[in-house]
Amino acid sequence: NNGADDYPRDKYGNCDFEQVDALRLDDLQRDVAELLEGRAVEGPSFDIGAGKRRVGSTVRIEGVPLENGVLLMEGIFALQDILLPNLPSDQKLRVVVHPTSILNVDELRFVSHQVLRMLRRIVRDYHCRTRDARDILSRWRSVADGEIRNVIPFIDSADILLNASNLYEIGALKSTALPLLNHVSPAFPVEYAQAAQLKSLLDWYYVVPNPDTAPKE
């Protein structure tokens, strides 16, 4: 990733994390070419909390012949050819893991995949990125727009599409998401209203007391 000062901006003047220009494409393409040639590269690291690019560790593909190895790339931009334009298509396997099913609460209420992704993000960013629920809710519009720009137009190019929706998931997320949503202050009326909507949805679900007991398949 770029550093915060180098990010492209959206129409509101905020850092736009949801466009491919936020990546250092030249560095990415050079490093992947080096890896596929069997050479070591210095993999960068990104400090989410500080918004800074850091020096990472040295990486090399080892343990198998290169022609039999797999280089895994993950991210919202991974379907786009602009990431690795010089790599032949027959050497790429595009896999989309995405919550595609609508989860019905009853005959009148349902949970869209965007709402499920937002609940996931609130819990993930709390644990991994030191962000609170208000911060995540303030990015809701940007996240939804990023999906429209970077996933949906390219989804037909996927070789494999895996549905990541799980019936038990909202119950597993509730124990962490609900306290975080309760801390969204009325001083931020837009995010407060969004939090209220999500809390109303969570009221329809029991808490899964131990997510580790969820099915593995």
Nearest to residue 80, comparing CAs of 168, 162, 152?
A: 152
Segment 9-20, tens digit of pLDDT: 777 777 777 788
Please give the helix or strand (H or E) that residue 110 lies within, else none. Answer: strand 110-111
Contact 121, 143 (CB under 8 A): yes
Give the separation between CA 109 and CA 104, rounded to whole angstroms: 6
Identify whether the C-beta of residue 147 lies closer than 8 Å to the C-beta of residue 76. Answer: yes
What is the predicted pLDDT for the residue at 190? 94
Segments of the chain scoring below 70 in pLDDT: 1-6, 48-52, 63-66, 101, 210-217
Q: Which residue has the tokens 């939090």?
A: 195
pLDDT at 48: 66
Q: What is the pLDDT, as a whole number, of residue 212?
A: 66
Residue 111: the pLDDT is 82
| Residues contacting 31, CB < 8 A, separation 6+ | 41, 43
Place of tokens 């629920």: 133
Q: What is the pLDDT of residue 65?
A: 64
pLDDT of residue 216: 60
pLDDT of residue 198: 95
pLDDT at 2: 52
Query: What DSSP assignment string belongs to 193-216?
Result: HHHHHHHHHHTTS---S-GGGS--
User: Identity (one letter) of the amino acid at 45?
Assistant: S
What one-character DSSP code corresponds to residue 7?
S
